[in-house]
Amino acid sequence: NAGVTQTPKFQVLKTGQSMTLQCAQDMNHEYMSWYRQDPGMGLRLIHYSVGAGITDQGEVPNGYNVSRSTTEDFPLRLLSAAPSQTSVYFCASSYSSLTGELFFGEGSRLTVL
C-alpha cells in the first residue's frame, strides 16, 4: 500500500551542489506535482505534470527541473543548490486534475548550507 513515495527524507547540501529528489506513485495517477513548504508561506507549487512526457511550471519554478518519462515517476532536480532552497518538499499525485484530491508523499527536508 505504498501510495506516493519520496526519497530521501532528509538531505544536507552545500551551496552549488546538485541533487535529485525522487518521487514515485503506484496509483496510476496522471497528475503529479511538487510543492515546497516554508514557514509563513504555506505550500507553493514548483512544477507539475499531467502525464508522461508533459511537464509545466508552477508558482516557484526557478532553480528546479523536472521530467516525466513514466506515469509512475516524477523526479525533481536541483541543479545548483542555494540556501533559499532550504525547505520541505512534497510530491503529490491525483487521479484527476480538477476534481481529485492530492495524495502526498511524506516529504523531504532539504537543508542547503
Partner 1 sequence: AQKVTQAQTEISVVEKEDVTLDCVYETRDTTYYLFWYKQPPSGELVFLIRRNSFDEQNEISGRYSWNFQKSTSSFNFTITASQVVDSAVYFCALRSPSGGSNYKLTFGKGTLLTVNP
Total residues contacting partner 1 by CB under 8 A comes to 25
Q: Which span (10-18, 42-50, 64-72, 76-84) binds partner 1, by CB under 8 A? A: 42-50
Which residues ranging from 12 to 31 are in contact with partner 1 (CB under 8 A)? 31
63 binds partner 1 (CB under 8 A): no
Nearest to 60, CA basis, from 77, 82, 35, 81: 35
Contacts of 57 by beta carbon, 8 Å cutoff, 6+ apart: 47
Grid-cell match 511550471, residue found:
57
SS3 84: helix
In the list 10, 28, 40, 62, the residue contacting partner 1 (rule: CB under 8 A) is: 40
